[in-house]
Amino acid sequence: MAEHTKVPASMKELTQVDPWLEPFVEELAYRSSLANQWIEKFNANEGGLLAFADSYKTMGLHVQKDNSIVYNEYAPNATHACLIGDFNNWAHDANVMTKSATGHFTVTVPPNADGSPGIPHNSRVKIFLTLPNGEKIARLPAYIQRATQPPKEYNNPSYEARFWNPPQKYTFQNKRPKLPASLKIYEAHVGISTPEPKVGTYNEFTENVLPIIKDLGYNTIQLMSVMEHAYYASFGYQITSFFAISSRFGTPEDLKRLIDTAHGMGLRVLLDVVHSHASKNVEDGLNMFDGTDYCYFHSGGKGVHDQWDSRLFNYGHYETLRFLLSNLKFYLDEYGFDGFRFDGVTSMLYLHHGVGAGFSGDYNEYLSPFAPVDKEALAYMMIANDLGSLYSAANDCTITTIAEDVSGYPTLCRPREHGGVGFDYRLAMSIPDMWIKILKHKKDEEWDMGDITHTLSNRRYREKCVAYCESHDQALVGDKTLAFWLMDAEMYTHMSVLSPLTQVIDRGIQLHKMIRLITQSMGGEAYLNFEGNEFGHPEWLDFPRIGNGESYHYARRQFNLIKDDLLRYQFLYQFDKAMNETETRFPWLNTEPAYISLKNESDKVVVYERANKLFLFNFHPTNSYVSYRVGVETPGTYKIVLNTDRIEYGGHGLIDEGKSTFFTTDLSWNGRRNFVEVYLPARTGLVLALESDIARA
């Protein structure tokens, strides 16, 4: 029981940061101990967590030094198994496997007479299993590293497993970049990253999109839909083969080249990892792998996510942990990823998977011994973060982990040694919801400065957040991007500089920039943007499916728009670039939270300081303010380092920045020791920095 668990002294860090956690320290220690017990087992049985996560090197198919191939598969319910494929003409009586007491089947395929591997590169393979009732089933190897869709003439949509052993292995040329001072993340999907209505490739992304990401000033890429998924329209969230990268985008060598090239450009790459659930596909997935519904998953209703129509892992099962943890290390080792964004963490955290559950913030909802928390899943996430820490120490790098959790689970982003779950960041998922609700339901004069600043600043102290205005979720069909909410009525008719600047387009361009700047500078310790949204991509995202006639028209990103000097998209692109470059030069992300000194509802003005910079926003649709007095703590001379109203960002150039030098007056104002007076045009955001800091930057 939790109340009998010894509380480590290191957990005092938690209660020093948040005294309200004091009544729950024993439960937190108990939950942490569950993960520690697994670590102890791995130390005793496997030689440690890193060695256990190396299981991908022995599970599945692997070429030995003598070119023999050893195949190892976990299928405890099967009574008989053999490896079949093109190499043995799919013979069911050849290459019979031996079953161990632990439920693992193994077989060695000897080399050919000429010494070459007995299974040709890129040839098809399956495991053929006999069940206790005599039924025969064929499955794709669970650890297979390549799966492809058969040609259409086969009239079978199920993916095929391929033995991947290319004659030329990719050799990485570049080391992982060091962890930047602050993460500026570009969320991207390779398949939609071309202007043409088609499936984009890893190579096209490398050649065409990486330079854009670098130019914009982002330092981290978050790649979606990498793990193989048979259904393209699932957006990569119905995984069928976890160790295989999506073949529709290219080969493993192509993806390695993408990541290596990104590293050479100083860009880190995170993998959007889906360990929260798996596809229900049987023929080309993990479901019913050995004839049971519990090989890797919970049995019965507990193993099914009704809303997602998918299978749920049993995180308390030794072989499931082997599969998932080695899956993480595989992507670190083989592809050089720099970390993970864990999808569906809310579903993992709770026995109800977040379905129909509201979270008031009462700690008992999360931390009571009787709270509906899946403690096995929680232990898995702790171990996964331990793996990242151990890998970082062993490889002189920093593996980053981000959690997608909407529930606000306390301690999710606190260090493991302090009793936390160990994630580095969580997504600030309330922020995009706020912006959508405001744009959808409120007139400009009804915007509430207090509500906006509360949502942007309301996060757990010392638990880092990734702020974002919109991600892929808001770009999907059925919703609208911010640019669409702001300007969809005229985006197709008035985004040309040759057409008059209408009120709709002018409002949209100005607010689009302001929303991004206030979100990045106040909303978190890192920042994320979904590809195309930075320049106000004019269309939503919809994958080919029956409902749209299998069309690729909306499954693309029109990067060509930013290259057209006659279109206003270039202004938003240039502002996004300037915002990131200014943050790099005058860092404010990954610093102490902002101090908000003014939330003026009638003026629609927000003023705050962060990292010794002064941020000013005038959201009023018509009112501009001359000699507007704002408080500032640090005395000195201030100048503008970023101004949303500049002509090159689609603004009106109302501020003469050459003459805009602001001297503090030694008089308290709005709770700050000094004040300055500024000209603040309507719908404008400004960032001011000390002249001395500008000289050093």
Q: Which residues are catalytic?
A: 343, 404
Please give the Cα distance from 548 to 541 (Å, whole number): 12
Among 485, 482, 480, 491, smallest CA distance to 519 is for 482
Among 382, 362, 311, 315, smallest CA distance to 32 is for 382
Please give the Cα distance from 648 to 586 (Å, whole number): 21
Tokens of 469: 């205005």
Residue length of the chain: 697
Please give the Cα distance from 161 to 184 (Å, whole number): 37
Please give the Cα distance from 151 to 8 (Å, whole number): 58
Give residue 181's Cα distance to chain centre: 18
Please give the Cα distance from 196 to 201 (Å, whole number): 12
Distances (CA, A) of 247 to 87, 241, 269: 21, 11, 19
C-beta of residue 692 within 8 angstroms of C-beta of residue 587? no
Helix (H) or strand (E) holding 378: helix 375-395
Please give the Cα distance from 160 to 10 (Å, whole number): 50
CB-CB neighbours of 92 under 10 Å: 14
Place of tokens 């361009």: 509
C-beta of residue 145 within 8 angstroms of C-beta of residue 67? no
Q: Specify the long-range contacts of residues 8-14, CB closer than 8 Å, at least 24 apart.
A: 8/32, 8/417, 8/419, 10/417, 10/418, 10/419, 11/418, 11/419, 13/414, 13/415, 13/418, 14/411, 14/414, 14/418, 14/419, 14/420
C-beta of residue 487 within 8 angstroms of C-beta of residue 504? yes
3 state SS of 57:
helix
Distances (CA, A) of 677 to 235, 353, 625, 636, 662: 49, 51, 10, 13, 7
SS (HEC) of 158-224: CCEEEECCCCCCCCCCCCCCCCCCCCEEEEEEHHHCCCCCCCCCHHHHHHHHHHHHHHHCCCEEEEE
